[in-house]
Amino acid sequence: MKISLFATCLVDTMTPSVAAATAALLQRLGQDVVVPPTQACCGQMHVNTGYRREAVSIVANHVRAFAGAEVIVAPSGSCVASIHHQQAAVARRAGDEALAQAAEELAGRTYELSQFLVDVLGVTDVGAYYPHRVTYHPTCHSLRMLGVGDRPLQLLRAVRGLELVELPRADQCCGFGGTFAVKNADTSTAMLTDKMADVLGTHAEVCTAGDASCLMHIGGGLSRLRAGTRTVHLAEILAATEHDQALVTGTVTS
Protein backbone atom coordinates (compact mmCIF):
# COMPACT_ATOMS: atom_id res chain seq x y z
CA MET A 1 0.00 0.00 0.00
CA LYS A 2 1.27 3.50 -0.80
CA ILE A 3 0.97 5.66 2.29
CA SER A 4 1.27 9.43 2.32
CA LEU A 5 2.71 10.47 5.67
CA PHE A 6 1.21 13.61 7.20
CA ALA A 7 3.89 14.66 9.68
CA THR A 8 1.88 17.62 11.10
CA CYS A 9 3.57 20.99 11.53
CA LEU A 10 4.27 20.48 15.23
CA VAL A 11 6.03 17.14 14.67
CA ASP A 12 7.91 18.56 11.72
CA THR A 13 9.23 21.55 13.67
CA MET A 14 9.54 20.19 17.23
CA THR A 15 9.86 16.38 17.14
CA PRO A 16 10.87 15.23 13.63
CA SER A 17 12.09 11.95 15.11
CA VAL A 18 8.41 11.02 15.52
CA ALA A 19 7.82 11.36 11.78
CA ALA A 20 10.97 9.36 11.07
CA ALA A 21 9.85 6.62 13.47
CA THR A 22 6.40 6.51 11.86
CA ALA A 23 7.90 6.11 8.39
CA ALA A 24 10.36 3.45 9.61
CA LEU A 25 7.58 1.49 11.32
CA LEU A 26 5.30 1.54 8.29
CA GLN A 27 8.15 0.54 5.97
CA ARG A 28 9.09 -2.32 8.32
CA LEU A 29 5.51 -3.53 7.93
CA GLY A 30 5.96 -3.62 4.17
CA GLN A 31 4.30 -0.33 3.26
CA ASP A 32 5.51 2.21 0.70
CA VAL A 33 5.79 5.60 2.42
CA VAL A 34 5.96 8.98 0.70
CA VAL A 35 6.03 12.45 2.25
CA PRO A 36 4.17 15.05 0.14
CA PRO A 37 6.50 18.06 0.17
CA THR A 38 3.90 20.85 0.19
CA GLN A 39 2.09 19.68 3.32
CA ALA A 40 1.88 22.08 6.26
CA CYS A 41 -0.54 22.31 9.21
CA CYS A 42 -4.00 20.81 9.69
CA GLY A 43 -5.39 24.15 10.93
CA GLN A 44 -6.62 22.84 14.27
CA MET A 45 -5.08 25.65 16.28
CA HIS A 46 -6.69 28.29 14.08
CA VAL A 47 -10.12 26.65 14.30
CA ASN A 48 -9.98 26.09 18.05
CA THR A 49 -9.13 29.73 18.69
CA GLY A 50 -11.78 31.18 16.40
CA TYR A 51 -9.71 31.99 13.30
CA ARG A 52 -11.94 30.01 10.96
CA ARG A 53 -11.65 32.39 7.99
CA GLU A 54 -7.85 32.23 8.20
CA ALA A 55 -8.05 28.43 8.40
CA VAL A 56 -9.67 28.13 4.94
CA SER A 57 -6.36 28.58 3.11
CA ILE A 58 -4.80 25.95 5.39
CA VAL A 59 -7.54 23.47 4.54
CA ALA A 60 -7.10 24.25 0.84
CA ASN A 61 -3.35 23.65 1.07
CA HIS A 62 -3.89 20.35 2.88
CA VAL A 63 -6.34 19.15 0.23
CA ARG A 64 -3.94 20.12 -2.57
CA ALA A 65 -0.93 18.54 -0.85
CA PHE A 66 -2.63 15.15 -0.45
CA ALA A 67 -4.75 15.11 -3.61
CA GLY A 68 -4.53 11.67 -5.17
CA ALA A 69 -3.09 10.02 -2.06
CA GLU A 70 -4.16 6.41 -1.61
CA VAL A 71 -4.04 6.53 2.20
CA ILE A 72 -2.88 9.27 4.59
CA VAL A 73 -1.46 8.38 8.01
CA ALA A 74 -0.48 10.83 10.77
CA PRO A 75 1.15 10.29 14.19
CA SER A 76 -1.37 12.65 15.78
CA GLY A 77 -4.86 11.94 17.06
CA SER A 78 -5.66 15.63 17.42
CA CYS A 79 -4.74 16.58 13.85
CA VAL A 80 -6.56 13.59 12.37
CA ALA A 81 -9.59 14.53 14.49
CA SER A 82 -9.38 18.04 13.06
CA ILE A 83 -9.23 16.67 9.51
CA HIS A 84 -12.26 14.47 10.19
CA HIS A 85 -14.42 16.94 12.08
CA GLN A 86 -13.26 20.49 11.33
CA GLN A 87 -11.76 20.95 7.86
CA ALA A 88 -14.93 20.39 5.81
CA ALA A 89 -16.95 22.49 8.27
CA VAL A 90 -14.49 25.36 7.91
CA ALA A 91 -14.73 25.26 4.12
CA ARG A 92 -18.53 24.96 4.14
CA ARG A 93 -18.90 27.85 6.59
CA ALA A 94 -16.81 29.97 4.21
CA GLY A 95 -19.15 29.08 1.34
CA ASP A 96 -16.68 26.87 -0.52
CA GLU A 97 -18.71 23.69 -1.09
CA ALA A 98 -16.21 22.22 -3.55
CA LEU A 99 -13.43 22.49 -0.98
CA ALA A 100 -15.72 21.05 1.71
CA GLN A 101 -16.49 18.00 -0.39
CA ALA A 102 -12.80 17.52 -1.23
CA ALA A 103 -11.92 17.76 2.47
CA GLU A 104 -14.58 15.19 3.36
CA GLU A 105 -13.32 12.81 0.70
CA LEU A 106 -9.75 13.22 1.93
CA ALA A 107 -10.79 12.66 5.56
CA GLY A 108 -12.22 9.29 4.57
CA ARG A 109 -8.73 8.19 3.59
CA THR A 110 -6.94 9.66 6.63
CA TYR A 111 -6.00 7.62 9.69
CA GLU A 112 -4.27 8.17 13.01
CA LEU A 113 -1.34 5.74 13.31
CA SER A 114 -2.82 3.26 15.81
CA GLN A 115 -6.15 3.21 13.92
CA PHE A 116 -4.36 2.47 10.68
CA LEU A 117 -2.28 -0.34 12.19
CA VAL A 118 -5.18 -2.08 13.97
CA ASP A 119 -8.13 -1.33 11.68
CA VAL A 120 -6.55 -1.25 8.21
CA LEU A 121 -3.46 -3.45 8.43
CA GLY A 122 -5.07 -5.70 11.06
CA VAL A 123 -1.95 -5.98 13.23
CA THR A 124 -1.37 -5.44 16.93
CA ASP A 125 2.09 -7.04 17.19
CA VAL A 126 4.35 -4.85 15.05
CA GLY A 127 7.53 -6.64 16.10
CA ALA A 128 8.67 -3.95 18.52
CA TYR A 129 11.05 -4.39 21.46
CA TYR A 130 11.08 -1.83 24.27
CA PRO A 131 12.31 -3.05 27.68
CA HIS A 132 10.86 -0.28 29.86
CA ARG A 133 8.06 0.35 32.35
CA VAL A 134 5.54 2.46 30.39
CA THR A 135 2.26 4.22 31.11
CA TYR A 136 -0.10 5.53 28.41
CA HIS A 137 -1.92 8.88 28.36
CA PRO A 138 -4.89 8.94 25.94
CA THR A 139 -4.94 12.51 24.67
CA CYS A 140 -8.30 14.29 24.76
CA HIS A 141 -8.77 14.77 21.02
CA SER A 142 -7.74 11.22 20.17
CA LEU A 143 -10.04 9.85 22.85
CA ARG A 144 -13.09 12.10 22.57
CA MET A 145 -13.08 13.47 19.01
CA LEU A 146 -11.44 10.62 17.11
CA GLY A 147 -12.35 7.65 19.29
CA VAL A 148 -9.09 5.70 19.07
CA GLY A 149 -10.24 3.71 22.08
CA ASP A 150 -7.86 1.00 23.26
CA ARG A 151 -6.01 0.56 19.95
CA PRO A 152 -2.77 2.11 21.33
CA LEU A 153 -3.03 -0.18 24.37
CA GLN A 154 -3.49 -3.23 22.13
CA LEU A 155 -0.29 -2.28 20.33
CA LEU A 156 1.66 -1.57 23.52
CA ARG A 157 0.61 -4.86 25.13
CA ALA A 158 2.21 -6.73 22.21
CA VAL A 159 5.60 -4.99 22.52
CA ARG A 160 8.21 -7.42 23.81
CA GLY A 161 9.94 -6.39 27.03
CA LEU A 162 7.48 -3.58 27.74
CA GLU A 163 5.80 -3.46 31.15
CA LEU A 164 2.54 -1.52 30.71
CA VAL A 165 1.16 0.10 33.86
CA GLU A 166 -2.29 1.70 34.03
CA LEU A 167 -2.44 5.48 34.37
CA PRO A 168 -4.92 6.61 37.05
CA ARG A 169 -7.58 9.06 35.78
CA ALA A 170 -6.21 8.46 32.29
CA ASP A 171 -9.18 10.13 30.58
CA GLN A 172 -8.43 13.51 32.16
CA CYS A 173 -6.79 16.04 29.83
CA CYS A 174 -3.19 17.17 30.30
CA GLY A 175 -4.06 20.87 30.02
CA PHE A 176 -2.21 21.69 26.80
CA GLY A 177 -4.91 22.25 24.18
CA GLY A 178 -2.81 24.38 21.85
CA THR A 179 -3.33 28.04 22.75
CA PHE A 180 -5.41 26.99 25.78
CA ALA A 181 -2.16 26.57 27.70
CA VAL A 182 -1.18 30.15 26.80
CA LYS A 183 -4.55 31.84 27.31
CA ASN A 184 -5.43 29.94 30.48
CA ALA A 185 -2.04 29.38 32.02
CA ASP A 186 -3.21 28.89 35.62
CA THR A 187 -5.85 26.30 34.68
CA SER A 188 -3.43 24.58 32.32
CA THR A 189 -0.79 24.38 35.04
CA ALA A 190 -3.27 22.93 37.53
CA MET A 191 -4.32 20.26 35.04
CA LEU A 192 -0.70 19.46 34.26
CA THR A 193 0.10 19.16 37.96
CA ASP A 194 -2.63 16.55 38.39
CA LYS A 195 -1.49 14.66 35.29
CA MET A 196 2.14 14.62 36.44
CA ALA A 197 1.14 13.33 39.87
CA ASP A 198 -0.74 10.46 38.24
CA VAL A 199 2.16 9.66 35.91
CA LEU A 200 4.68 9.69 38.74
CA GLY A 201 2.40 7.53 40.86
CA THR A 202 2.81 4.71 38.34
CA HIS A 203 6.61 4.74 38.81
CA ALA A 204 6.87 4.41 35.04
CA GLU A 205 10.13 5.18 33.27
CA VAL A 206 8.22 6.43 30.24
CA CYS A 207 4.90 8.19 29.62
CA THR A 208 3.68 7.73 26.07
CA ALA A 209 0.83 9.12 23.95
CA GLY A 210 -0.19 9.51 20.34
CA ASP A 211 0.24 13.29 20.24
CA ALA A 212 3.55 15.13 20.41
CA SER A 213 1.77 18.23 21.72
CA CYS A 214 0.60 16.59 24.96
CA LEU A 215 3.96 14.88 25.38
CA MET A 216 5.75 18.24 25.07
CA HIS A 217 3.49 19.66 27.78
CA ILE A 218 3.81 16.71 30.15
CA GLY A 219 7.50 16.24 29.38
CA GLY A 220 8.25 19.88 30.07
CA GLY A 221 6.64 19.63 33.48
CA LEU A 222 8.37 16.37 34.36
CA SER A 223 11.76 17.72 33.32
CA ARG A 224 11.36 20.66 35.71
CA LEU A 225 10.68 18.22 38.53
CA ARG A 226 13.76 16.22 37.56
CA ALA A 227 11.59 13.19 38.26
CA GLY A 228 13.43 10.83 35.92
CA THR A 229 10.31 9.94 33.96
CA ARG A 230 10.51 10.88 30.28
CA THR A 231 7.94 11.16 27.50
CA VAL A 232 8.17 9.15 24.27
CA HIS A 233 5.72 9.17 21.37
CA LEU A 234 3.85 5.92 20.67
CA ALA A 235 5.37 5.78 17.17
CA GLU A 236 8.90 5.74 18.59
CA ILE A 237 8.09 2.83 20.91
CA LEU A 238 6.46 0.83 18.12
CA ALA A 239 9.41 1.55 15.80
CA ALA A 240 11.97 0.35 18.36
CA THR A 241 13.66 -3.03 17.85
CA GLU A 242 16.72 -4.81 19.23
CA HIS A 243 18.58 -3.50 16.17
CA ASP A 244 17.85 0.17 16.91
CA GLN A 245 19.38 0.90 20.31
CA ALA A 246 18.87 4.67 19.90
CA LEU A 247 15.10 4.19 20.03
CA VAL A 248 15.27 1.45 22.68
CA THR A 249 17.47 3.48 25.02
CA GLY A 250 15.87 6.83 24.28
CA THR A 251 19.02 8.43 22.92
CA VAL A 252 17.43 9.34 19.60
CA THR A 253 17.38 13.09 19.03
CA SER A 254 14.73 15.13 17.27
Domain 133-247 coded CATH 3.40.50:
yes
- Each residue's pLDDT, cut to its tens digit, for the chain (254 residues) gives 999 999 999 999 999 999 999 999 999 999 999 999 999 999 998 898 888 899 999 999 999 999 999 999 999 999 999 999 999 999 999 999 999 999 999 999 999 999 999 999 999 999 999 999 999 999 998 989 899 999 999 999 999 999 999 999 999 998 888 788 888 899 999 999 999 999 999 999 999 999 999 999 999 999 999 989 999 999 999 999 998 777 777 765 44
Per domain, the residue ranges of the chain are 2-120, 133-247
Phi-psi region of 128 (alpha: psi -120 to 50; beta: other; left: phi over 0): beta
